[in-house]
Amino acid sequence: MAQVTVSRSKSCVVVEIVTASLMDPLELDALGADLYRLVDEQDARRLLLDFGKVQYISSQAIGILAKLHKKTNALKGGLLVLCNLSPRLLELLKIMRFDKLMPIKASQEEALNHFERMKALT
């Protein structure tokens, strides 16, 4: 399985992906299942995905992000935020217009501040 660390902040669940490559189909199946389980079973409707260590990403991983966005967006107060993307990954997601679907922040601190601002609005 792709290596991740999961922690809870006061405004969201932080998932740090600590592997450089999101390319292996079996690892991605496990990662997707774990992320969906966070939303479906543990009611983690506010997720922050930190891509600080990730250098490579497959189309399957992009599909997981799209499905995760759909799941969180369907829940009241749900929000998926991405952060710490390398310039190459950020460019790829912008080409695919993911920046129009979900917030993408430069750092984890900026992303956590975004969650706090969104929490204050509700």
Q: pLDDT by residue (tens digit) across 9-43?
A: 999 999 999 999 999 999 999 999 999 999 999 98
H or E stretch covering 14: strand 13-17
Q: pLDDT by residue (tens digit) across 84-95?
A: 999 999 999 999
Q: What distance in Å separates the CA atoms of residue 113 and residue 111, rounded to the nearest whole number?
A: 5
Per-residue pLDDT at 122: 60
Mean pLDDT on 91-116: 96
Domains delineated in the chain = 4-117 (3.30.750.24)
Task: With a cut of 90, say whether residue 2 has pLDDT above it.
Answer: no
